[in-house]
Structure 1
């Protein structure tokens, strides 16, 4: 009984300690910086929705046209923009740029280094997963063939 109680206490304390460790971006950024990123993301979503609501039926049809490549759809859509839509896009870009610049001004050199390391790790992890997927596909082909 005593051993069970000790084991249970260890498991509970281990879980609570594991949950206290921040993950990903929370390790790198301050709470204020995380809030800035959330505000930026929210702004992008709002701008996108506002812009989508300004599209007319012909523009929506261009976006839905699967006969065109993505590039052709994009070019056709941009060519169909009204001056008001172009101004809205420009204002949205400027707003996002100013939010990004304000955020980057708060990032320290140490944080920049941590961000670079995190990106490098993520890139390596992505490559490892891709290689693993390819190996699995090859094994399946050999198994079938």
Structure 2
């Protein structure tokens, strides 16, 4: 199958669909968001980092939200804003996580304050995004969620 034919099929299949990608300030999250944009999905990208310069150009529309994904007030407002702006949320991709090279060590060496902070960011953010995005998916009759993590 030719590349252009495949791209056309994706564009038709995903026309009018929307996604929220959490942890999209770089790495796997940004790469995932760029692939979704290329298929024609409107994508809201969210991360605590500044907006990356290398967000792909459409055909899907990209919107960037900067904030702390382990903060429930931010995630609640994010889900509401994305659903309102995109007409709902069909897909949630959560890649939120931290890796601090200067602080990440084995559990034998890591201080417990760092351990708690890693879990706060890496796991609580997943629970919050599910809690606040699910209601918008239900309103559209369903959706799909993918959570990617490393601990």
With the length of structure 1 as denominator, give the TM-score of the two structures.
0.34
Larger-gyration structure (1/2): 1
Indicate the structure whose relative CO is greater, using CA pairs within 8 Å and at least 6 residues apart.
1
Choose between structure 1 and 2: higher helix proportion: 1
